[in-house]
Structure 1
Amino acid sequence: MSQWVTATVVEHKSWHADLFSLRVQAPSFDFTAGQFVRLGLEDAEGQRIQRAYSLVNAPHESTLDFVITRVPDGLLSPKLQQLQAGDNLQLSQTASGFFTIEQVPDGDSLWLLSTGTGVGPFLSMLHTQAPWQRFSQIKLVHAVRTEADLCYREAFLALQEKHGKQFHYQPVVSREPVKGALSGRIPALIDSGELEHACQGTLNLNAQVMICGNPEMIKDARHSLSAKGLEKNLKRKPGNVTVEQYWK
């Protein structure tokens, strides 16, 4: 059973009206990049409202980072959006989840496919040594609706500058033209070959793919990858596609 502790907001960053990040300080605990915790606030009746959010920061960083989309009629996210530096919230310990690099088999390339806030756990992973040591090529794909949704873009560009040809950051924007970005949905870009061309890589049996984000994207991307012979990675049967399922 998770223990709940009090965390304090140290920074509220607004990406746009419905997308924000909270950086918080909490009692230290261990986690593996890719895992999630639950954030909670009490309602008017004193009942805890809680939701799962991936940790965006690296495990060695003391300040915890969460990227959150405000759901207009949501019970928790509008309240989280109102928090500012100095405000408190509740945080579950320990972290949970198996969406980690350790669960991914070896391969030549690692493809990180995400939509929206699903890019968060990938930034956590990329700030550890494991992916850079295990894979000769890493492709990060972040699909969003508008350019303003490309949260942490500067951090990914900095990683691209640092790691050179080992890393490729590929934004995908569906509702407006953006320089350097593809247009459309990830599954369609896999089907057409546009994604591989833009990332200068091949989705074959030597590739490992991690997917996090919208459940419909995950379902459709798995279908597109299966057509290429890339099947889901399971403990009893290692494969090429590892997915984050806690959104369901």
Structure 2
Amino acid sequence: MAQWLSGTVTDNLHWHANLFSIKLQTPAFEFTAGQFVRLGLNTPDGRVQRAYSLVNSPGSSEQEFLVSTVAGGKLSPLLQQLKMGDTLEISQPASGFFVLDEVPDGDNLWLISSGTGIGPYLSMLGTHNLWQRFKHIVLVHSVRTIADLAYRELIQQYQHQYPGQLHYQPIVTREPMTGVPQQRLPQLIQSGELQAICKQPLTNRSQVMLCGNPEMIKDTKAMLESMGLKKNLRREPGNITVEQYW
């Protein structure tokens, strides 16, 4: 049975009206980059809880989560209203197998996300294991609007820290952004445009992680499989590792 830690809100950064990052101070706990916990709030109707990936890397003094506000949602609108000093509970232990230990070696690693699905990748970027294992890392973030492109400054810090090793590729589908494609991920992969922009191939020697909207995952996975890449399973290692929360 899950146990709960009590955390204190230390920051609630609003990227825009429906996207925010919340930070909590909690007692130290162990987790692996890519895992998730449940955030819980006690309300007059009982405890409300939902799963969210940790954005911070293991060893951080604060726990951080990237949250999209769901209209009519039971928890996200409440989280958005939390202020410094408010209390929020975190489930223990952390869960999930969307971690680098489950990913085989490859010539390159593609971290493909949509929306808040970039969260677990940010956690991974702060670990030594990622940079030691893969010579070329491609971080793809597909969003609707430019304002959805959270954490760009943090990503640039990693690019400066590991020059030439990380390529960051935003995709904005619903408004123009100079030098940034607007098509959906499967179409960009099918045409080869994504590979050309990122200057990395997608072959059966690649490793691809997918996290985000279920439709993006389903369609992108199907496209990759049509190119000869296979789903990664413990009993049969492949190329495509998937995480879905809803």
Using structure 2 for the length normalisation, give the TM-score.
Answer: 0.98
**Distance in 2 separating the partners of 1:232 and 1:26:** 36
1:105 aligned residue: 104
Listed as ranges, the matches of 1:1-248 within 5 Å are 1-45=1-45, 47-245=46-244, 247-248=245-246
**Distance in 2 separating the partners of 1:24 and 1:166:** 31
Unaligned runs of 5+ in 2: none
SS at match of 2:237: coil
1:241 Cα offset (Å): 0.3
Using structure 1 for the length normalisation, give the TM-score.
Answer: 0.97
1:179 Cα offset (Å): 2.3
After the TM superposition, which parts of structure 1 deviate over 2 Å for at least 4 consecutive aligned residues? none
1:180 Cα offset (Å): 3.3
**Distance in 1 separating the partners of 2:28 and 2:11:** 18
1:164 Cα offset (Å): 1.7
**Distance in 2 separating the partners of 1:180 and 1:164:** 21
Matched residues, number: 246
SS at match of 2:97: coil
Q: Percent identity?
A: 57
**Distance in 2 separating the partners of 1:163 and 1:97:** 27
- Residue type of the alignment partner of 1:188: Q
- Residue type of the alignment partner of 2:19: L
Is the contact made by 1:116 and 1:213 (CA closer than 8 Å) also made in structure 2?
Answer: yes
SS at match of 2:161: helix
Is the contact made by 1:171 and 1:180 (CA closer than 8 Å) also made in structure 2?
Answer: no
SS at match of 2:221: helix
Tell me how large the CA RMSD over aligned residues is: 0.8
**Distance in 1 separating the partners of 2:181 and 2:160:** 20
- Residue type of the alignment partner of 2:229: L
**Distance in 2 separating the partners of 1:77 and 1:110:** 31
